[in-house]
Each structure stands twice: as structure tokens, then as C-alpha cells.
């Protein structure tokens, strides 16, 4: 069972629901299969149009696999500060050199042979293109941990990209340099962003009923109903 966080996202001049989760190929396939879900290369996150119907359907769909859904950022929109659109342009990116293209094509072939999903391949190649465009004056074997830190500070954080995007960059870099094992880069020391930890929520009575309705496993439903019965005095 995974923890999935739903949050507000402004994308393509419209309100969207961003879907955050730790990297999992099976979960990624499951989320992609939901009607209306798209991938944002800009924000590095899956999203769906923000409507009450989509929110309810998405919640029910994810609960079918008994995932924990943290949607506090959607329940209390008045507590979310919307950052005004910045007039400052993102840090400029250079052009990839021929060696960069060759290395990425070789890596893509490796991913295909390892039977990675097409979406994972597209994501990894996409974020690596951005990383190497940012560091285009350096050959891939000249990249150091300091270059990765500078990319994080001057591109990811400066442009307020998500933790998910940052994690994907790190995953792609680690796998890329593991594949190019002849290049000396200490990928084990590359740190990931700290997970966003939230306080647990108290479900409303309607949400408890909705949860019970969507649980299909008889044993799980019995446990939940007994828990509900014990806590009924506290719900009134």
C-alpha cells in the first residue's frame, strides 16, 4: 500500500489536481490508466483536471488498491497560498552536443532492452536532456556532484519545480551513470529531497461511509466496521 498525495496545481492556465507518489512502475501504470490523467513535463508530475467529479472518482479509483490518499491540500484550498506568476524566465538551457545525443541514445537502447515502460523511458530521457542542456559545456564524464547541486539550486529550486520532478532527475542520473560504469561519479552520495510529512487527518462521517463502501475485502470491511462502531460515541 502506497501513500498518494493530491494537491492543487495551476497548469495550462487551469486548475488541476497533481498526483504525487514514490516511484513505482506498477502504481504509475495504474494511475496512467485512469481516464483523464496526463503527465506534465514542466512540473514532473501526473495531473487531472480539477473538478469535484474527478476528485471523487480518482479517490475511489485509488482506494480500490487500498492506497492511503492524502488530499488535505484539496480539502482546505483557503490555506494554500497561490504564488503569483513570475515574470522571470527559467534559467536558459543550452543545446545538446553530439556526444550528449549519442550517450542518451545508447542509454535509451539500454532501457528498452531492460524492458522499462515507455513512459519511464520518456521521462528519464526527457529529464536527462534538461540536465545535460544545463551542463552542455561539459562532457558527460566531466560532470561532478557539484554540477548536480548547482543544477538543483539554479534550475529546479529557482523555478519551483516539484519534489517529484527532483526525484525523477536524481533517479535518471543515478541509472544513467550506473549504466556508464566507466565514468567516475560517486552517485551513491547524491541525496534525495526530504519527504513532505503531514499530520494525519480525521475523516468525516461521510468519508468513513465512502471508505466502507469502496472496501471489497470482507475481512478488511469487518475490521473497519468494528472500528467505526467503537468510535461512534466520539463522532457525535
Total domain count, the chain: 2
pTM for this predicted structure: 0.48
Residue 229 in any domain: the answer is no
Q: What is the pLDDT of residue 230?
A: 61
Distance CA 158, CA 119 (A): 26
Q: Does 215 fall in a domain?
A: no
In a domain, residue 45? The reply is yes
- Beta-bridge partner residues of 8: 17
**Which of 56, 85, 114 marks a domain boundary?**
85
Q: Which helix (H) or strand (E) holds 3?
A: strand 3-11
CA distance 187 to 202: 41
pLDDT score at 83: 40
183 and 123 in a single domain? The answer is yes
Q: What is the dihedral of CA 71, 47, 128, 195, to 10 degrees?
A: 0
Residue 121 to residue 6: CA distance in whole angstroms: 24
* 68: β partners: 3
Burial per residue of 149-167, b for 16 or more beta-carbon CB atoms within 10 angstroms, e otherwise: eebbeebbeeeebbbbbbb
Alpha-helical segments (H) within 135-183: 145-151, 163-179
Residue 136 shares a structural domain with residue 108: yes
CATH of the domain at 40: 3.30.780
Range of the domain at 43: 1-85
Are 134 and 93 a contacting pair, CB within 8 Å?
yes
- The residue among 85, 106, 130 that closes a domain is 85
Question: CA-to-CA distance for 50 and 61, rounded, in angstroms?
Answer: 16
Which pLDDT score, from 0 to 100, does residue 34 have?
Answer: 93
Question: Residue 129 belongs to a domain with what CATH number?
Answer: 1.10.150.130
109 part of a folded domain: yes
pLDDT the model gives residue 194 = 57
Q: Are residues 69 and 118 in the same domain?
A: no
- Distance separating alpha carbons of residues 107 and 102, to the nearest angstrom: 9
- SS3 sequence, 181-232? CCCCCCHHHCCCCCCCCCCCCCCCHHHHHHHHHHCCCHHHHHHHHHHHHHHH
- Are residues 2 and 81 part of one domain? yes
In a domain, 36, yes or no: yes
- Given 189, 208, 230, the domain boundary residue is 189
Identify whether 222 is part of a domain: no
Same domain, 111 and 172: yes
| Residue 148 forms part of a structural domain | yes
One pLDDT digit (tens) per residue for the chain, 236 residues: 778 888 877 777 678 888 988 878 888 899 999 999 999 887 788 999 988 888 889 988 988 888 888 877 665 443 333 343 343 444 567 888 899 999 999 999 999 999 988 878 888 888 899 999 998 888 888 888 888 888 888 888 887 777 778 888 888 888 898 888 777 776 666 666 655 555 455 566 666 667 667 767 777 767 767 766 665 554 44
Amino acid at each position: 500500500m502506497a501513500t498518494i498525495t493530491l494537491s492543487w496545481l495551476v497548469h495550462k492556465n487551469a486548475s488541476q489536481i497533481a498526483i504525487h507518489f514514490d516511484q513505482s512502475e506498477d502504481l504509475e501504470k495504474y494511475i496512467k490508466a485512469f481516464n483523464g490523467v496526463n503527465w506534465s513535463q514542466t512540473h514532473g508530475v501526473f495531473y487531472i483536471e480539477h473538478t469535484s467529479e474527478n476528485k471523487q472518482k480518482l479517490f475511489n479509483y485509488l482506494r480500490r488498491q487500498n492506497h492511503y490518499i492524502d488530499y488535505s491540500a484539496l480539502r482546505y484550498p483557503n490555506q494554500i497560498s497561490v504564488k503569483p506568476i513570475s515574470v522571470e524566465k527559467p534559467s536558459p538551457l543550452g543545446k545538446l552536443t553530439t556526444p550528449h545525443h549519442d550517450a542518451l541514445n545508447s542509454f535509451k537502447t539500454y532501457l528498452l532492452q531492460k524492458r522499462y515502460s515507455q513512459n519511464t523511458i520518456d521521462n528519464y530521457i526527457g529529464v536527462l536532456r534538461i540536465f545535460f542542456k544545463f551542463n552542455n559545456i561539459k562532457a558527460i564524464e566531466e560532470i561532478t556532484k557539484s554540477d548536480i547541486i548547482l543544477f538543483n539550486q539554479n534550475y529546479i529550486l529557482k523555478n519551483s519545480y516539484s519534489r517529484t520532478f527532483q526525484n525523477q532527475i536524481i533517479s535518471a542520473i543515478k541509472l544513467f551513470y550506473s549504466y556508464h560504469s566507466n565514468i567516475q561519479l560517486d552517485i551513491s552520495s547524491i541525496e534525495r529531497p526530504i519527504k513532505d510529512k503531514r499530520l494525519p487527518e480525521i475523516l468525516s462521517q461521510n468519508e468513513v461511509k465512502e471508505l466502507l463502501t469502496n472496501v471489497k475485502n470482507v475481512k478488511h470491511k469487518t475490521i473497519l466496521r468494528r472500528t467505526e462502531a467503537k468510535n461512534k460515541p466520539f463522532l457525535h
